[in-house]
Amino acid sequence: MKVKFWGTRGSIAVPGKNTTLYGGNTTCVELTLGCGRTVIIDAGTGIRALGEKLTATGKELDVHLLITHIHWDHILGFPFFSPIYQKANRLSIDGYPTCMKGLRYTFDNKMGDGFFPITFDALKAQVTFLNRINKGILEIDGTTIDSIPLHHPQGGFGYRFHEGGKVLVFITDNELRKDSWEGRSPDDYVRFCQGADILIHDSQYTPQEIPERRDWGHSDYESAFNLAYRAGVNRLILFHHDPSRTDPEVTAIKVLCEDLANKKNSGIRIEAARENSELEL
């Protein structure tokens, strides 16, 4: 399985000279499964460039789009995903139960028409809502995808991908906390991430910033590290960088997290997600 980051930023896109290394686009991650199939996680602003790449292949596309939740930074790129305007393409959508409503509303919110010049019903690609992951495991050509609810305002799903003995866990917009605020306990997340080769987790904040941002639905790097450590993860990728954070500040957070990993002699490799970077499992 290959992983490519097209958007790593949280909350709002922040292009500019301060974000050239880690990127300014919001959440979008491309997975290429062993069978060659493409699975996209989230339709933040990063999905625009991914769509350009897929369209440039000139092939008929048959791709999956998994949505974690429908906050703006995870869906607003969808109308700019060029494959949806080609008749030959097929797009299978799954994820959090509200995902179709959210994607549709990026085109035409009946409460206030006038947000986008095209309507959802005018899309040319064949768009199908699978609605399977909400009921259990989704399987795509031998790769299984399991989900866990997020600690996040209005909810959401994190995903665990299992393919040929390799495991990738993707959990963004998740507030890890000891008191199990609104749902899953820390132990549940540990079980879900157990033995993952790669864990990509929300690390928007520092531990010092958390008291002012309780209940906003995001984690600090130390909580993300503790989860990775307890779950025996090999590689932790810090994700959903705060929009106010410059490249040197994101690097500083990565270094602080590496210090934690070294102090515990954990052997966990720490990285901060960079737009356009690729990983392989």
Residues that bind Zn ion (CB under 5 A): 10, 71, 73, 173
Query: Closer to Zn ion at the Cβ: 69 or 162?
Result: 69
Minimum distance between the CB of residue 272 and Zn ion, rounded to whole angstroms?
16
> 15 vs 142, which CB is nearer to Zn ion?
15
CB of 74 to Zn ion, least distance (A): 6
Report in angstroms how near the CB of residue 150 gets to Zn ion at its nearest.
8
- Do residues 261 and 235 make contact, with C-beta atoms less than 8 angstroms apart? no
Cβ closer to Zn ion: 152 or 254?
Answer: 152
Work out how close the CB of 256 gets to Zn ion at its nearest, in angstroms, rounded to a whole number. 22
User: From the CB of 6, what's the least distance to Zn ion, in Å?
Assistant: 15
Q: Give dist(CA 209, CA 205) in Å, integer.
A: 6
* Whole-Å CA distances, 46 to 17, 41, 75, 111, 116: 17, 11, 10, 27, 18
Taking the C-alpha atoms of residue 238 and residue 206, their distance in angstroms, rounded to an integer, is: 12
In whole angstroms, the minimum distance from the beta carbon of 41 to Zn ion comes to 12
DSSP reduced 3-state for 96: coil
Cβ proximity to Zn ion: between 83 and 102 the closer is: 102
Q: For residue 82, how many C-alpha atoms fall within 13 Å in the half-sphere facing its CB?
A: 12
Q: Indicate the residue whose CB is closest to Zn ion.
A: 71
Q: Which residues pair with 79 in a beta bridge?
A: none
- Cβ partners under 8 Å of residue 204, min gap 6: 10, 11, 218, 219, 220, 240, 241, 242
10 vs 46 by CB, closer to Zn ion: 10
> What is the spatial distance between Cα 2 and Cα 19, in angstroms, rounded to a whole number?
24
Residue 24 or 83 having the CB closest to Zn ion: 24
| Contact (CB, 8 A) for 150 and 91 | no
